[in-house]
Chains A and B, each alone.
Chain A
Amino acid sequence: MLRFVVRRLLLLVPILLGVSLLVFVWIRALPGGPATALLGERATPEAVAALEHQYGLDKPIYVQYSKYVKQLATLQLGTSSTSRQEVTTEIRQRFPATVELTIAAGLFAVIFGIPLGFIAAKHYQGPVDHTSLVISLIGISTPIFFLALILKYVFSVRLGWLPSVGRMSVLIDIPHPTNFYLLDAILARNWDAFVDVSKHLILPAIALGSIPLAIIARITRASVLDVQNEDYVRTAQAKGLAPRSVDFHHVLRNAMLPISTIIGLQVGLLLSGAVLTETVFAFPGIGSWLVDAIKARNYPVIQGGVLFVAVIVVFVNLLVDLSYGVLNPRIRLSK
């Protein structure tokens, strides 16, 4: 078990080197650069050259990259070229927002996806199954930004039930010791704030969770259908166990293995979906931060932000792998 974890953590080094190199080269291949982005259309060639010289962007790319890797080795991510703040500071401010949003979206997907798939499998080929298929297909094929606009139009603009932008009403003031606003509200014992933050999470979570929900529902359905025909299920039924007990203790439990894999894989999807969702909902997380950075050719932020997200995805997948052992004793990892 420990050896497995250590091996996976060591694998992080080549993964991160690869990601950093890719991002480093890719953003430099984009037209324009931080100097032209900062100076805008008033840039004179001399000013751009001077700025590029100051940023070291006039040096060969391998020199820039080796300098960057040396800086990374000391866990420095540099300074944002637009806000002039440390990238690590900005990650600390921004990441909790994305975590809250991703967890809310993930929960939404799991809580509605698994029952939907399960019920569909139980009513295989029936109208419920077909309805669930249609819902899933709509969920998978609707672009996030479109769904977000519709949700906002209906629930914010028309009905006025839910807010359309941000993490919290601007009129509420609470201290932010953790930057996890739900947690901050609890710490401040401000329940109005807690309710307000929760409301701000609902629409983005639905928009972001819709695709994972559909995928989880489909996988759950297929997995349950598979397991249902296994001998041990038939044995359990033959033993006279209550259908409920069979469903929960034998079918769903064994069907959870592929489902949990899929849930783990969704984390990457959720983080990439957060880019769009956060932009549309003006949700100040990592996603909207990276979009702004790409527009401004803010190299330190793009490099640091993408690297950070890569680390998170790797860690979550590691956790998912470890969870297999918990779900299925046959593949305990120490063996």
Chain B
Amino acid sequence: MTTKDTMLEVKDLHASVGGNKILRGVNLSVPKGEVHAIMGPNGSGKSTLAHVLAGRPGYEVTKGEVLYKGKDLLAMNPEERAREGVFLAFQYPVEISGVSNVYFLKAAANAIRKHRGQPELDAIDFLQLVKEKAKVVDIDESLIKRPVNEGFSGGEKKRNEIFQMAVLDPALAILDETDSGLDIDALRIVAAGVNQLRSPDRSMVLVTHYQRLLDYIVPDVVHVLLDGRIVKSGGKDLALELEKKGYEWLEAPAGSR
């Protein structure tokens, strides 16, 4: 596979958090336009992988490399990654009192536009964009004007993440446990929003513990992450198999450790 078609190429990635080795040689290749699900039990390293890809300080890469559109992703700081088109939807979106959701997003959108050589949006153009993108996840405009995630319900926080993704228009979206804490109605809305954002130019990595999300967002490929390594990859049916059989049957496949 040439890097031209590949959005994300993770090679033998090892990472530690607080001195604990979490990722122990992840290999992953996500072609442009595809949606890949990464499943695994708690503690398998799913969220760590998501945060390492977004560049979270304190998540130390000890070995391996990550190419994003053929560029060395690990050499970039978090804001550079975002400006290059990487987006992380947080499992636990951070509440930031005193910072307006909409203005923070305008600052972010313009930082990205500037990086791309596009003209910055003024307040009127930006509000137009916000109105349009708010429809993607049916988010209330009053929420958009409130302080970032402050006092939002779990469902509102997740919607806000997908709303931000819609506004920032990333090439690679990493969704960390986007289904956690959502009731079925909220899950449908969030999933419908994500599906609207699927495009031949955008790749997505869905990190999830449960198969449930994948009923609504059907992945092209499913990977199983166990003990810091991807131990099995397959089509969307693999998720169903995992739902039935759990992860135990994969735990010590001969020769993979």
Are A and B subunits of one complex? no
